[in-house]
Amino acid sequence: MGPTEGAPSVAGEREMVANSKYSGRVFIKAILGRPDEGVGLIGQKVTVGGWVKTGRVMGKTTSAFLEVNDGSCVANLQVLVDANVAAEKQLTLTGTSVLVEGELVKPPEGKNQKVELLVENILHVGTVNAAKYPIAKGKLSLESLRSQLHLRARTNTISCVARIRHALAVATHTFFDKNGFMWVHTPIITTSDCEGAGEMFQVTTLFSEAERRDKEYAAHPPPSEADVDAAKADVLEKGDIVKKMKEEKKSKKEIEPSVQALMKAKELAAQLEAQASLKPGLPRKEGGEVDYAADFFARQAFLTVSGQLQVETFACALSNVYTFGPTFRAENSHTTRHLAEFWMIEPEIAFADLEDDMNCAEDYVRFMCQWLLDHCLDDMMFLSKMYDKSAVDRLRMVASTPFKRITYTEAVEELEKVTSKKFENKVEWGIDLASEHERYLTEEIYKKPVIVYNYPKDIKAFYMRLNDDGKTVAAMDVLVPKVGELVGGSQREERLDVLERRLTEMNLPMEPYEWYLDLRRHGTVKHAGFGLGFERMILFATGLENIRDVIPFPRYPGKAEL
């Protein structure tokens, strides 16, 4: 039987802390993340590696006192380095990396932690130029950290966000795996515009090919028209010679040199004619439009805005599936809620209707909130203290509270009654609810998450199922405090004739969607799904204000660093 929690073990019964399998060191979380905060490990010899958050040179008996963090948790481990081990002042500089081994000891009374590391041997020191290190002591704004993407993960805020992001990814896979969903990797390069908005990044090799041709054109100008005409005349002349020799019944041996000369003349003429036809710039059709048949995929291709259409193909064969991957929007937006590259989770449920879809979305959001409370409470408490004091309470509320469900029409009616606030965007039936409307519904009227469903068809995508009223579609949005829309989903239109009519109404070409229509031609089935913006979920959970701070490498207009 192990030692009593919070007390040192007796000899032979000590609980040993495990080394990382692949680096031979102990993660700081394995020490400080224990219920006894490491007290039960006092007396053990361990190897720890990390980066110095703060440090100071001590007196004659101690060279340095360090606060070391290795990214495994928000807490720092107190590390003492005796003067007889090392006297380097370099150890105390913020950002210095150290790998040290020593004994876990009880600190003097009054210290914050219940255990600290007394170093016996220094295995590695990664030095820092203190004058140039940009992530020094002192509070840096999140905006300024965006100019240091390669180093900002060393800050407490970004490292907390990274751990929360990881935990939410694990929660996502856990939730869908437990509920019988299969993860499908949908393509990043696509020829379909899921949203029909046209704000897509194009994938092409035409520009690099055009640049290559331009360089060749400049280095080796094409032959002139006179050169081509001269070559063609030479072919005629040599052809006449061969013809005359045949008429004179010359022997094959006599004719052969003239035939060879004719063949070379034809080859040269064809080569000059081809070179003369080459034009600099992009390949174009007779009408002047770009000829995408010459492109890499022999047609226009784009970075995907959603994996939904493709994942539907697997839902119509394997039942419950989901996709989790990067998506892209070429939207020239500089708001705190938009990125050019972001991640989406998109489940698709076969034989499901809108009610099933709403149930799944609600369960998934609540599951993620509870997962963070169970697995990332220390990180959440830190962010709550630094940025949004209501963050943890908000998670607890969402995890434990059934969501309110109202129709779009009911939502508009409720917002039209509001007199205590003047909205920037006018409220009337048919509008796409703005963030201010969504947040008012969740934060002021109902004070909890709200699912709004049955939206006007004119503001929703072509693939959403048309309701019997002919005015609305079976679409739903999950709205949450702080961010507004978190989830958008719908029952899909499974009726071929209705789907074709919707494509026509929205002026979308049929040809790129023929494969999608095939799903309705061959064994059609009702199905439903939704998309959750991963970064929006992290914004909601952490309470941070800018979406650029919850993704490791943000891409937005004018910025694509690293």
pLDDT for the residue 541: 97
CATH 2.40.50.140, the chain: domain bounds: 28-138
pLDDT band per the 50, 70, 90 thresholds, residue 6: very low
Q: Is the pLDDT of residue 7 over 50?
A: no
pLDDT in tens, 349-365: 999 999 999 999 999 99
Q: What percentage of the chain exceeds 70 in pLDDT?
A: 95
pLDDT band per the 50, 70, 90 thresholds, residue 267: very high
Q: In a 3-state reduction of DSSP, which class is residue 403?
A: coil
pLDDT in tens, 187-237: 999 987 666 555 899 999 998 888 887 777 777 787 888 988 999 999 999
pLDDT for the residue 4: 39
pLDDT for the residue 152: 95
Neighbours of 339 (CB within 10 A): 23
CB 38 within 8 A of CB 32: yes
Average pLDDT, the chain: 91
pLDDT in tens, 319-330: 999 999 999 999
CB 447 within 8 A of CB 441: no
* Residue whose pair of structure tokens reads 């499901």 in the numeric block: 352
Question: Would you call 186 exposed, middle or buried from its count of C-beta atoms within 10 A (0-12, 13-18, 19+)?
Answer: buried
CB 50 within 8 A of CB 19: no
Q: Is the pLDDT of residue 281 over 90?
A: no
pLDDT for the residue 287: 84
CB 39 within 8 A of CB 6: yes
Neighbours of 11 (CB within 10 A): 6
More confident residue, 4 or 302: 302
pLDDT for the residue 219: 75
pLDDT in tens, 435-489: 999 999 999 999 999 999 999 999 999 999 999 999 999 999 999 999 999 999 9
Phi then psi for 107, rounded to 5 degrees? Answer: -75, 165
pLDDT for the residue 360: 98
Q: What is the dihedral of CA 249, 253, 258, 260, to 10 degrees?
A: 140
pLDDT for the residue 211: 83
Section 502-516 average pLDDT: 91
pLDDT for the residue 82: 87
The verdict on pTM exceeding 0.95 is no
Phi then psi for 403, rounded to 5 degrees? Answer: -80, 145
Q: Is the pLDDT of residue 11 over 70?
A: no
Kind of pairing, strands 321-328 and 182-183? parallel
Q: Is the pLDDT of residue 3 over 80?
A: no
Distance CA 244, CA 260 (A): 15
Q: Is the pLDDT of residue 268 over 80?
A: yes
pLDDT for the residue 87: 62
pLDDT band per the 50, 70, 90 thresholds, residue 562: confident
Kind of pairing, strands 404-407 and 450-456? parallel
Distance CA 253, CA 234 (A): 22
Section 273-278 average pLDDT: 76
Give the sheet arrangement for strand 301-303, strand by strand.
189-190, 301-303, 202-203
Q: In a 3-state reduction of DSSP, which class is residue 10?
A: coil
pLDDT for the residue 154: 94
Residues recorded for the chain: 562
pLDDT for the residue 13: 53
DSSP secondary-structure letter at 327? E
What class is the 157-203+300-549 domain? Answer: alpha beta
Section 164-189 average pLDDT: 98
pLDDT band per the 50, 70, 90 thresholds, residue 84: confident
pLDDT for the residue 10: 43
Q: Is the pLDDT of residue 338 over 60?
A: yes
pLDDT for the residue 66: 94
* Residue whose pair of structure tokens reads 């019997």 in the numeric block: 468
pLDDT for the residue 60: 65
Q: Is the pLDDT of residue 525 over 80?
A: yes
Residue 404 carries which side chain, given as an amino acid letter?
A: K
Q: Is the pLDDT of residue 113 over 90?
A: no
Q: Is the pLDDT of residue 62 over 70?
A: no
Q: Is the pLDDT of residue 265 over 80?
A: yes
More confident residue, 145 or 12: 145
pLDDT for the residue 5: 41
Q: Which residues contact 306 (CB under 8 A, 6 or more apart)?
A: 194, 195, 327, 344, 346, 531
Q: Is the pLDDT of residue 276 over 70?
A: yes
Residue 80 carries which side chain, given as an amino acid letter?
A: L
Phi then psi for 72, rounded to 5 degrees? Answer: -80, -20
Q: Which residues in 13-44 are b (16+ Cβ under 10 Å) and which e?
A: ebeebeeeeeeebbbbbbbbebebbbbbbbeb
More confident residue, 554 or 286: 554
pLDDT band per the 50, 70, 90 thresholds, residue 12: very low
Q: Is the pLDDT of residue 2 over 50?
A: no
| CATH architecture of the domain with residue range 28-138 | Beta Barrel (2.40)
Q: Which residues contact 389 (CB under 8 A, 6 or more apart)?
A: none
Q: Is the pLDDT of residue 38 over 90?
A: yes
More confident residue, 132 or 85: 132
Kind of pairing, strands 484-491 and 450-456? unpaired
CB 25 within 8 A of CB 19: yes
pLDDT for the residue 285: 86
pLDDT for the residue 83: 77
CATH 3.30.930.10, the chain: domain bounds: 157-203+300-549
